[in-house]
Amino acid sequence: MKPLTAWLGARADALIAAALFLGYLTLLVQTAGSLGFMRDEGFYFSAARAYGDWFALLWQSPTQALTPNVVDRYWAVNHEHPALLKSLFALSNRWFSGAFAQASLSFRFPAMLLSSLAVALTFVWGRRTFGRAGGLVAALSFAFMPHVFFHAHLACFDLPVSAMWLVTSYVYVRSLESPRWGWLVAAGLAYGLLLDTKHNSWIFPFAVGLHFALVQGWPLLRDVRGGAAWWRRIPLAWASMLLLGPSLLYALWPWLWHDTFARLREYVAFHTGHEYYNMEFLGRTYWKPPMPRGYAWLMTLGTVPLVTLALAAVGGVAARKPSPQRSQYAFWAVSVAMSYAPWLSDGTPIFGGTKHWMTAYPFLCLFAGLGFTKVVAAGQAMVPRLPRVAVATVAVVCVLVGPCVMTLRSHPFGLSAYTALVGGAPGAASLGLNRTFWGYTTQSLAPFINDSAPRRGVVYLHDTAPQSFAMFQEDGRLRRDLRGSLDIGASDVALFHFEPHMSRVEHQIWVDYGNLSPDAIAAFDGVPIAWAYRRKRSAK
């Protein structure tokens, strides 16, 4: 027994990290079947299928696959986003589709892996910095943010880019502490993968630069003034990231293999000049600048559990005190600041809700973990008779039970989930905060559709992408004899996913169906999210 106990003791943290990884992955896999498909997932499913066909061709006939026109034919699909995740979706679908009960899960699985990796790495970094209990609180606070849990399921890029930002940050900070070749090369490779994940990666160098200015600015200035070798302060990882990062992006994104600079310009132009979609905020629909500057802050307050924010605030204050970890605390702080920085401009679109700044959340939770250690210390001072482990255990339960319950209850309506600070989902609806977007709540209306649509009936999809509808059918969530359509007039059942600017769609249904009463409503916490109408036979 003793050797086993010793073995477990020596590897406790690795085992906890593994348990967090596997536990979260299992939870995501188990709950994915009840979560519908977002518009964007539909587009990425299509892209992944195209890329998967190219991988198959590459395997069978490499010469043919590598000719420029063949590369372009397969990789032109959805070329406004880098290739890494869609390539992983494609390979996962090809290799593992037989392993899952639903085809969609094979596409979603890589993003789930990365989301779980982010949870585990948050623990690892927290454990390394301020201890096991704090690390656990940091990791689980991140895992159990309702919007994080929602996005962690999806074959999209938002949680993966949070994970890759965290991985790159961790490796970079480790390379600063011990500039060995391993960490230096890893920093470059990690940044390359981050670049190939999503364009949030463009902000990462600013985080690195700001961190350097905060930590090394004054010493460097002193060196310059004193004629010392100031360049020795420049982190070697910068060279690695500068060389390996773009190289890896190029290598893993075949669309860039030809007309590279023109296509890079197009990629940048697409995102810097992205069109403004509609988004409701405090009762007003925004579709063009100026966008509300308070959007990111209020949405964070309204969607991240208050206890997590309170702990993060405590941690943030504690991090200001001099300590050996100050450099990494500074990195956490600049990661949070840089993730939110685009929304300091009233020209930055807000259509994606909270997902665009989720790169900040692991760091926010690391601060929460740090704050937790201070809270436990204070708690123990209040009740000195209780053993520290008892105080910590009670505190862990107190700070995590709320986020866990709120998050699990929010499924599958993650985008509709709001905290008590804004009155929960009903309060948010009254305040005029966005209830849903992306048309994924079709899943909640699936029983009604399957029961009420006539044989070979037509379903008006509204905001659900046709590719997503096809996946509903491939998975067996919707009847395969049904046909999805974007023509209300041709439909037997019409869906309506609520957003104020989309009300005109419901008005068209009223006129065409001659009926103002929804036949089915999908609701979350008493708030209607999506509803459906069935055409009465005489009305067609």
Partner 1 sequence: MRSPSLLLGLVPLLGLAELGVHQYLAARPPDFADYAALAPQLVKLKQAGVPVVVAPAWAEPFVRQAAGSAFPIAELTRPDDSAFVGFLEVSLLGAHAPELEGFPLTKSQRVGEFQLSWRQNPKPEPVRFDFVSAVDAGEVEIFAELDGVRESCAVTQRSRTATGGLHGHVAYPRTRHECPGGRIVAVTLIEDQAYRPHRCVLTQMPAAGRIVLRFSSAPATARLVGFSGFSYFLERDEQTDEAELSISEAEQPLGGQRTAGARGWSRFELQRGGAPGPIEVSVRRLAPSAGDFCFALEAR
Q: Which residues bind partner 1 (CB under 8 A)?
A: 285, 287-288, 305-307, 310-311, 314, 371, 374-375, 377-383, 394-395, 398-403, 405-406, 409, 419-420, 423-427, 429-430, 435, 462-463, 486-489, 500-505, 507-512, 515-519, 521, 523, 525-528, 531
- Bridge pairing between strands 483-485 and 520-524: unpaired
- Bridge pairing between strands 458-460 and 483-485: parallel
Place of tokens 């310059």: 224
- Comparing CB distances to partner 1, the nearer of 29 and 306 is 306
Task: Tell the smallest beta-carbon distance from residue 386 to partner 1 (Å).
Answer: 11
- Specify whether the CB–CB gap between 280 and 500 falls below 8 A: yes
Task: Tell the smallest beta-carbon distance from residue 337 to partner 1 (Å).
Answer: 24
Task: Tell the smallest beta-carbon distance from residue 496 to partner 1 (Å).
Answer: 9
Structure tokens that stand for 239 in this block: 């060279």
Q: Which helix (H) or strand (E) holds 280?
A: strand 279-281
- Comparing CB distances to partner 1, the nearer of 50 and 502 is 502
- Comparing CB distances to partner 1, the nearer of 137 and 189 is 137
- Comparing CB distances to partner 1, the nearer of 476 and 489 is 489
Q: Give dist(CA 170, CA 124) in Å, integer.
A: 10
Task: Tell the smallest beta-carbon distance from residue 174 to partner 1 (Å).
Answer: 30
Task: Tell the smallest beta-carbon distance from residue 463 to partner 1 (Å).
Answer: 8
* Of the candidates 399, 315, 407, 325, the residue with the CA atom closest to the CA atom of residue 363: 315
Task: Tell the smallest beta-carbon distance from residue 512 to partner 1 (Å).
Answer: 4
Helix (H, G, I), strand (E, B) or coil at 532: strand
- Comparing CB distances to partner 1, the nearer of 352 and 528 is 528
Q: Give dist(CA 425, CA 304) in Å, integer.
A: 13
Helix (H, G, I), strand (E, B) or coil at 457: coil
- Comparing CB distances to partner 1, the nearer of 19 and 405 is 405
- Category of 62 on φ-ψ map: left (φ > 0), alpha (ψ -120 to 50) or beta: alpha
Helix (H, G, I), strand (E, B) or coil at 254: helix
Structure tokens that stand for 298 in this block: 């209020």
- Comparing CB distances to partner 1, the nearer of 205 and 500 is 500
- Comparing CB distances to partner 1, the nearer of 286 and 331 is 286
Task: Tell the smallest beta-carbon distance from residue 322 to partner 1 (Å).
Answer: 17
Alpha carbons within 13 A on the beta-carbon side of 511: 7
Task: Tell the smallest beta-carbon distance from residue 166 to partner 1 (Å).
Answer: 24
Q: Give dist(CA 233, CA 337) in Å, integer.
A: 24
- Comparing CB distances to partner 1, the nearer of 163 and 422 is 422
Structure tokens that stand for 512 in this block: 């065409």
* Of the candidates 20, 290, 25, the residue with the CA atom closest to the CA atom of residue 135: 20
- Specify whether the CB–CB gap between 157 and 115 falls below 8 A: no
- Specify whether the CB–CB gap between 192 and 181 falls below 8 A: no
As a 3-state breakdown, the chain gives helix, strand, coil percent values, each rounded to 5, of 70, 5, 25
Contacting residues for 225 by C-beta, under 8 A, at least 6 apart = none
Task: Tell the smallest beta-carbon distance from residue 477 to partner 1 (Å).
Answer: 22
Task: Tell the smallest beta-carbon distance from residue 381 to partner 1 (Å).
Answer: 5
Reported residue count of the chain is 540
- Comparing CB distances to partner 1, the nearer of 300 and 419 is 419
